[in-house]
Structure 1
Amino acid sequence: MNPNYEYWLSYEGLDADTRRELESIAEDADEIEARFAVPMRFGTAGLRSVMAAGISRMNVYTVAQTTQALANLVCRHGGQARGVAIAYDSRNNSMRFAETAAEVLAGNGVKVYIYESLRPTPCLSFAILQLGCLAGINITASHNPKEYNGYKVYWEDGAQLPPDHADEVSRETAGIDIFTGVRRLSFSEGCDKGLIVRIGEAMDEAFLRAVLDCRTDPEILSKYGDAVGIVYTPLHGTGYRLVPEVLKRAGVTNLRVVESQRRPDGDFPTVAVPNPENKACFAEAIDLVLRDGADCDLIIGTDPDADRVGVVVKDANGLFVPLSGNELGALLVDYIIQARRRKGTLPENACAVKSIVSSELFTAICKKNGVTPVNVLTGFKYIGEKIAEYEKTGQYTFLFGYEESYGFLSAGYVRDKDAVAGSLLISEMAAYYKSIGMTLYGAIHALYKEYGYYGEAVLNVQVGGVDPMAEMNRRMTALRGELFDSIAECRVLRVRDYLRRTVFDLVTGATAETDLPESDVLYFELEDGTNVIVRPSGTEPKIKVYILAKGKDEQTLEAKKAAYAAFMNAQFQDEKHS
């Protein structure tokens, strides 16, 4: 019998529901092994797992243990009085986990500022900066299926925890007994002692003012806010609180919310996975338009914690098609640059930041318009770091940042992606284009005509086993052992290995150092301008392969994407990489 499983059952203080759950799997050795063989690993993205009893699952005990580790870190940094802000999303158990974290922090004498009800993720980053907190906790699993929940930690700059502090929390957690090593104060007692303070509407008002200040040209929605038809869905998440409100305040009057998806619901009853990257999530919104004949120029959808925003528009034939995260990133940076130029507010030292797995169309637009493009590793915290760095040094003025996974930010009021502000900017952009007789679909194709056709394919290689993290490491090691000199018969010019911090030139044989921090990423630069990037996911048990291609026309582009995707798929199906 697994000793961790036996220890949990032997603990007298175990709650009755958890005990019954564990007793129900007593005869299932595989399930016991899956839950108790290896604990969740705390990384820079925190924790994320299925909600269930066990050391590898999200539950009140693993949340309490991790929070004790964070409390130790906060106390070592003298941050008890500065405190920790806490937010949570609409998922099942999110409020319970948030209150558990608050109780543990209070039990360690750490001040807690907890939102009185669910809020978008960017509200947490905002609260940390506004209140001067040392850290923050967000209970969310973003766009994962309903069975999941997660635990993200932020630091005093409002961005997710930096790697060195994440390592500290991970090491600290390993040394804490999950039951007897946690100090805790009841929520009511924490409130009575003034250690736990609820925050809410006043912080929302400050946040909304900051978001409205992000408008590139406030006059656009004031003039044309009644002309652009918008349908919005929060996908049963937190976006319903603030997205419609900020759009109305900005001047949008032709706005409809998808009623069947408006109410927060951790079961996400109308979608399989609440991910605005997937067109299937917009089915209810599209049905609303088709059924009721709603005036609609675009459909906006935000994920459950409202940090990512997706868009569906009508194509030239009137059919609804999604815009990719890279297309939205290109449209937004181009719109912001041109709007700033029209108003005379484009800084001479403007820069725009993207992750290395995002499209080079963004780079081309920036360079043509005299804006410095900056690349960072995957993870919006790295964009947040650049914002903080440039505010301090004055080297550049931050204009816009994005990741291909539908994360956008255009100002420094937070240090994380913000779907509330993203929805506002996208609406402003759509209203502008409508005022000059264009659609967003027409606008992206105008960019393709000007810069060439850019597109991407993303492959997700699922990784199983008792310890998926170890298996992902093994697969990445195997891939490094046999680096490609060609991919689908196209020569590889350079390989960037960010784990070893080397750039190897296959043409000259020269080796140089990468200009970014260490990270488990392999980046292949091909002769035809295509980039193929491989990295393990930071939040899920899978390896992600990004194919960023460019073609002279749409047909050439699609052929390249298909060829490179087939090649990379074959590598991971091959026994040596499986």
Structure 2
Amino acid sequence: MEQNALDRAQAWANNSYFDESFRKEIQDLIDSGDEKEVIERFYKDLEFGTGGMRSIIGAGTNRINTYTIRKATQALANEIIRSGKEEGLKEFKIAISYDNRRFSFEFAKEVASVMAANNVHAYIYKRLNPVPLLSFSVRHHKAQAGVMVTASHNPPEYNGYKVFWNDGAQVTPPNDSNIINNYNSMTNFSSVKTMNFDDGLSQGLIHWVGEDVENLYFEAINSKAINSKMCTEEGGKLNIVYTPIHGTGFVPCTTALSNLGFTNVQVVEEQKLPDEDFPTVSSPNPENPEALALAVKLMEDTNADVAFGTDPDTDRVGLAFKKNGEIVYLNGNQIGILMVHYVMGGLKKSGAMPSNPYFVKTIVTTPLQDQIAESFGVETFNTLTGFKWICGKMNQLEKSNPEKNFVFATEESFGYLNHEFVRDKDGVSSITLLSEICLHYKLQDMDLVDALDKIYEEYGFSSETLLNLNYFGKEGSEKIARIMENFRSYSDKTFCGEEISYLEDYSTGESKSFTDSKLSKLDLPSSNVLGFNFTNGTKVYMRPSGTEPKIKFYIMIQEKEGSLSEKKSKALAKTDEFLSYIKQQAEQA
């Protein structure tokens, strides 16, 4: 058995700081001789990725549990106090929310208890609430940070810990690295401060957050409707099916829809209430058609216009609808295209487009959205993958260029933001916006495929595909590193038969031309991301996931010749070629 992992496991099993059942779980694991499981639990500490910490629940340094939650919270508390004192603050605050997962409420209370013991006032929702309401709470309470206890759309055995900073966005450098350094430097769990939760309440250090704050959020997001008059007067004509997939979305999403005028909403009964086991799905991810199966069935049974689904922490939304007898599932790029076009077109038409408008997207999101924004006179900023970078850019512009006005933000992984009241992707406001878009086109006897085709006819066709290759555990991490290194050193002039124009390496911050080998600087933070750009406008990006054991490949095909049907056919064939080629290259790594 790997000695370092075994030594760490034994140290935990012998540490009287941990409760007896926790220590017994570890000792039983050691005694069982299950070397692989001991290594998986103890070969490293949990790390902050693009969304914080996320892992399987259980005992161990590489697992989510009461003690790693406490340790992470102490590390966060130290950074809140350090940075707050630098700013001259006398009082420190944190906002806390949690989803329906196993131990989410208990972990959220642990966060509040550690913060209270550090004299940081904790504002925790009385009932489970999604990511956007956590971000709203950070900004509303003028807190220095926020924590969302969630594992988003991971399987039931996972939970996680998302850290937000004082702008309401997920934490970015240098604060994230400071928290990580604090976490890694703590070797003695008894150095973590904590107090009884009820004592924190009675001492006025822990505060419940109720419906008054939730209602302020609903008022804020509904103020951003593009055509509220249409929604109020005609909203009942759109027959909507919605599923929260056992997560946090039921109350906020149905409330927001009703407030805007969408009264014809059916909720999937089997998935309506929170359930930590997610019994009706293999994975509660609305990006996957399987997770929307019950919503689609209800949509077909009732002849509804559209079915929506949100993930457990309600920051992502997926949809399906029926066209010519077939179920259509739009991908995140297509949904984003519809939103960008509708929001910007609506603002332009109504004369409500602000001065100096801007739009933010990620580098792995379709470049067609850049073209749409340009046509409406909206400036586009591209960021690294993840809404932490999108909202970090919003925060930066708010300070450095206050004359610029935010209009929209999107990423390909089903995340969207159409307002400035929170700083993360918002599945609640996304459902109201998508309902508005569906109603807008229904009143013209059009569906969302018709709407997309109209956009493609005007701006050109793009096709986007995401390939996930999963590699688990320590061996998987090493495999992913080899795949990235092989592509990083790629020297052929062509990639799957396409001529390479340049390769972007965000780890070195350089872009290399494949025509003259010249290097140019990339104006984004360092990240383990590669981007192949081809002479015909097609792009392929690749990066290891920051929160899951996988490597992601983003294939963005551009077709400019022929009719729309010909372009679609060619893009489909080229996508298949790319998928086969990438899998072959990965297998050889």
Query: Structure 2: how far apart are the matches of 1:519 and 1:63?
Result: 26
* Aligned equivalent of 1:37, options 9, 25, 43: 43
Structure 1: unaligned runs, 5 residues or longer? none
Query: Structure 1: how far apart are the matches of 2:422 and 2:152?
Result: 18
Instruction: Report the residue type matching 2:342 in the other structure.
Output: Y
Query: Structure 2: how far apart are the matches of 1:22 and 1:356?
Result: 43
* Aligned equivalent of 2:139, options 129, 133, 137: 129
Q: Is residue 251 of structure 2 the alignment partner of residue 251 of structure 1?
A: no
Deviation at 1:210, TM superposition (A): 0.9
Query: Structure 1: how far apart are the matches of 2:453 and 2:193?
Result: 58
Decide which moves more: 402-411 or 376-385: 376-385
Which structure 2 residues correspond to residues 490-505 of structure 1 after superposition, within 5 A? 490-505=498-513
State the partner residue of 2:9. Answer: 5
Change (3 A) 1:510 1:466: closer
Query: Structure 2: how far apart are the matches of 1:125 and 1:469?
Result: 32
Query: Structure 2: how far apart are the matches of 1:75 and 1:296?
Result: 52
Q: Is residue 69 of structure 2 the alignment partner of residue 59 of structure 1?
A: no
Query: Structure 2: how far apart are the matches of 1:287 and 1:496?
Result: 44
Q: Is residue 258 of structure 2 the alignment partner of residue 260 of structure 1?
A: no
Q: Is residue 385 of structure 2 the alignment partner of residue 378 of structure 1?
A: yes
SS of equivalent to 1:53: coil
State the partner residue of 1:571. Answer: 585
SS of equivalent to 1:65: helix
8 Å Cα contact 1:390/1:398 also seen in 2: no
SS of equivalent to 1:83: strand
Change (3 A) 1:467 1:564: closer
1:447-479: CA deviation from partner (whole Å, max 9, x where unpaired): 222223211121112233437556544542343
Deviation at 1:388, TM superposition (A): 2.5
* Aligned equivalent of 1:479, options 473, 482, 487: 487
SS of equivalent to 1:519: coil
Decide which moves more: 235-244 or 38-47: 38-47
Deviation at 1:358, TM superposition (A): 0.5
SS of equivalent to 2:328: strand
Query: Structure 2: how far apart are the matches of 1:186 and 1:467?
Result: 41
| Count of matched residue positions in the alignment of Structure 1 and Structure 2 | 572
State the partner residue of 2:564. Answer: none
Instruction: Report the residue type matching 2:437 in the other structure.
Output: M
State the partner residue of 1:313. Answer: 321
8 Å Cα contact 1:112/1:195 also seen in 2: yes
Decide which moves more: 224-233 or 344-353: 344-353
Decide which moves more: 190-199 or 171-180: 171-180
Change (3 A) 1:52 1:134: same
State the partner residue of 2:120. Answer: 110
1:498-522: CA deviation from partner (whole Å, max 9, x where unpaired): 1111111111332211122221111
Deviation at 1:14, TM superposition (A): 2.4
Which structure 2 residues correspond to residues 123-522 of structure 1 after superposition, within 5 A? 123-290=133-300, 293-315=301-323, 317-392=324-399, 393-466=401-474, 472-522=480-530
Instruction: Report the residue type matching 1:120 in the other structure.
Output: P
Q: Is residue 61 of structure 2 the alignment partner of residue 47 of structure 1?
A: no
Deviation at 1:360, TM superposition (A): 1.4
Change (3 A) 1:383 1:53: same
Provide runs of 4+ in structure 1 moved above 6 Å: none
SS of equivalent to 2:270: helix
State the partner residue of 1:538. Answer: 546
Structure 2: unaligned runs, 5 residues or longer? 562-566
Deviation at 1:441, TM superposition (A): 2.1
Instruction: Report the residue type matching 1:242 in the other structure.
Output: P
8 Å Cα contact 2:172/2:389 also seen in 1: no
Deviation at 1:237, TM superposition (A): 0.4
Query: Structure 1: how far apart are the matches of 2:213 and 2:146?
Result: 15
8 Å Cα contact 1:62/1:178 also seen in 2: no
Deviation at 1:312, TM superposition (A): 0.6
Query: Structure 2: how far apart are the matches of 1:423 and 1:4?
Result: 46
The Cα RMSD (Å) is 1.6
Deviation at 1:286, TM superposition (A): 1.7
1:47-91: CA deviation from partner (whole Å, max 9, x where unpaired): 111011111001001111111111111121236723111111111
**Normalization by structure 1: what TM-score?**
0.96
